[in-house]
A and B are shown apart, each in its own frame.
Chain A
Amino acid sequence: MSYLPNILFAMALIIGVGYFVKNVKKLIRNIKLGHDVDVSDNKSQRWKNMAMIALGQTKMIRRPIAGILHVIVYVGFIVINIEVLEIIIDGLFGTHRLFSAIGKPYDVLIGIFEILAVLVFISVILFWMRRNMIKLKRFWKPEMTSWPKNDGNFILYFEMVLMTLFLVMNATDVHFQNMNSGNVVSQFIAPFFSSLSETTVHVIERAAWWMHILGILVFLNYLYFSKHLHILLAFPNTYYGSLKPKGQFDNLEAVTKEVKLMMDPNIDPFAAPVEGTSTDTPAKFGASDVQDLNWVQLLNAYTCTECGRCTSECPANQTGKKLSPRKIMMDTRDRLEEVGKNIDLNKGTFKEDGKQLLDDYITREELWACTSCNACVEACPVSINPLSIIIDMRRYLVMEQSAAPTELNSMITNIENNGAPWPYNQMDRLNWKNE
């Protein structure tokens, strides 16, 4: 029976990691529902962007308070997780603090972990206060109610609990405290347990140890259901982020083909299509649902952690319009999740559900309020591009539905007829010279 803890631990690990892997596979499948886009260019610049923006947090610190607090939590998260490696080995083989065999460096390492744990704890408290007491505007927009609001707080509670368990685990480890090296923080917590019997302290230590590692496994699996996925997806997302100038919108290839056909005087418009050369279904212009977007846009949606920097910089949102770039991303993700669940329920194929991203999630009013100013794109700390989704959906509205606002239709007619958005004759283009 002495192997029972080891077996239980191995089972917890297999279930925890297994379920996570299952969901990651689902995540990848959902992202691949988007159509393909070539992002194979300029690998060195892409690696550099990932190193600077995701790893280096360069865009996070543009807002210094949130930025520095975030860097603390981020560094804490990465560094303290070295400890998880030891916990896993200990758990599987029934050892205790296996790495302590390396001596002094171990103590230094644990000392650093303990300091970081306290810093993370404080930062998380401050984050919580920013959300719930100071009530920063961007956390209280209409899209930040119910689940998104709770999700933000749950993550903070998780981190508070995990950090506390880590410190309690160290404080109640009598052997570790007796070494009196590396317990820079936990030595001040240990006295709280000094009145308890040795057995009780040991039970608390074991309980903290188990809850810590089980908590980590639960948190890992929470990611998929949470905005917190950004801790993983920020890396691929910054890698695949656009390298083009922000003002450059893609030229739709399907349209290019049609325009070339129209402009080519040698083409016989009545010719029968050559067999095998043209596809039967004409390409759909623009996007009305998530499958019409490309996979990088869908990756964007899963990466969004709802920080709202985009929305707080958006001129339309600042002046009270319904548009919120963050909501565009959240809607895209929620619809994609809905489509994914539909596929799960219908044995791998999507069954028409009478819903789509347009109208059922994102309204036309939101789409038409955008000034395409790129403030949202610039603000995003992890290279998400809400603007590209807005433009793709406008394309659908205009080219598939002819549903542009009336005034825009006159602008479009003017360009068609006069080569200018206003009703002036092209022959008068140089009149200014003599006025």
Chain B
Amino acid sequence: MSELLNVPTMADFMAQGKQPEVLFWVGCAGSFDDRAKKITKAFVKLLNKANVEFAVLGTEESCTGDPAKRAGNEFLFQMQAVTNIEVLNAYDIKKIVTACPHCFNTIKNEYPGLGGNYEVMHHTQFLKTLLDEGRLTIEGGQFKGKRITFHDPCYLGRANNVYEAPRDLIKKLEAELIEMKNCKRTGLCCGAGGAQMFKDAEKGNKEVNIERTEQALEIKPEIIAAGCPFCNTMMTDGVKAKDKEKDLPVMDIAELIANAQDL
């Protein structure tokens, strides 16, 4: 990619004796997964556009321990958590934003008990604040009037009762927000949570992501919006399995907004 992204690290800030407004916790998917990296970049573009002084941990970041914990390896989870908390506290981090609901949930809810207390926001909440404060403006652009449905990530929705921030952003795009029959607190899982992402599913008669994709297809959206890199993968695979990948893109909210602005 030719364009230059401005992505300072905490070490950079420390060297200048400064503190960023917010730490962007990129997460493993956002760092390594090819699809999720695009979401990371889209979000960074928006942060750059809104002149947010943010930093990443870069090579000092490590897995939050979420998949280990959900898989039952509490020991590894706490090792990861304590190590991360040491790094975060050493940099005196106060506020964290992340585009991954799993990182969001873990740092927000499970780190305080181990000595890590931070204000944690999901990137849709953060973007919403930027809009409310007038630091970022959204115009519908190419998404005006498009039928967009939002797939609630379990760890953002039910787990933390965040249902409206992502929807508010879609509405800001002047798109037509349509809901699947299971949405918000009854939203159906994509099938990736609880460490399922890293294993084959148990024997059944269908994959969970196919079931969810079928629910989406029922209401004939033009775009499926997601707010989680894992949901994104699962829904993208689901759409592919239905041979619809040409007509039905699965996009993160951050990508929608960045694209609307032609960033």
Contact = CB atoms under 8 A, between A and B. Distances in A.
B109 A247 contact: yes
Interface stretch (B58-66, B136-144, B172-180, B243-251): B58-66
A412 B73 contact: yes
A39 to B, nearest CB: 16
Contacts of A435: 1, 37
Interface string A409-433: 0111001100111101011111111
A415 B67 contact: yes
Contacts of A313: 186
B14 interface: no
A323 to B, nearest CB: 7
A429 B31 contact: yes
B76 interface: yes
Given A286-B72, A421-B63, A407 B208 contact: no
Contacts of B210: 319
Interface in B35-77: 37, 40-41, 56, 58-59, 61-63, 65, 67-76
Contact of B62 (A247, A378, A419, A422): A419
A375 B189 contact: yes
Contacts of A365: 202-203
Contact of B41 (A393, A410, A429, A432): A432
B71 A412 contact: yes
B28 A251 contact: no
A255 B191 contact: no
B26 A322 contact: no
A313 B186 CA distance: 8
Interface residues of A, number: 69
A398 B158 contact: no
B65 A415 contact: yes
B154 A316 contact: no
B186 A378 contact: yes
A106 to B, nearest CB: 45
B158 to A, nearest CB: 4
Contact of B32 (A252, A368, A412, A420): A420
B262 interface: no
B19 interface: no
B129 interface: no
A372 B70 contact: yes
A321 B191 contact: no
B155 interface: yes
Interface string A349-379: 0000000000000000100111111110111
Contacts of A368: 199, 202
Nearest to B79: A259
B31 A319 contact: no
Given A319-B204, A407-B200, A375 B188 contact: yes
A395 B1 contact: no
B199 A408 contact: yes
B254 to A, nearest CB: 14
Given A247-B159, A404-B72, A429-B26, A259 B201 contact: no
A5 interface: no
A375 B196 CA distance: 16
A422 B26 CA distance: 15
A245 B159 contact: yes
B206 to A, nearest CB: 4
Contacts of A41: none
B80 interface: yes
A408 B195 contact: yes
Contacts of A249: 69-70, 110
Interface of B: 1, 5, 7, 9, 26, 28, 30-33, 37, 40-41, 56, 58-59, 61-63, 65, 67-76, 78-82, 105, 108-110, 113-114, 154-155, 158-161, 185-186, 188-189, 191-208, 210-212
Interface of A: 244-249, 251-252, 255-256, 258-260, 262-263, 285-286, 313, 315-316, 318-323, 365, 368-375, 377-379, 391, 393-399, 404-405, 407-408, 410-412, 415-416, 419-422, 424, 426-433, 435
23 contacts: A245-B161, A247-B105, A247-B159, A251-B113, A255-B78, A263-B82, A285-B75, A286-B72, A320-B203, A321-B203, A321-B204, A371-B208, A378-B158, A394-B70, A399-B75, A408-B195, A408-B198, A420-B63, A422-B28, A429-B26, A430-B59, A433-B7, A435-B37
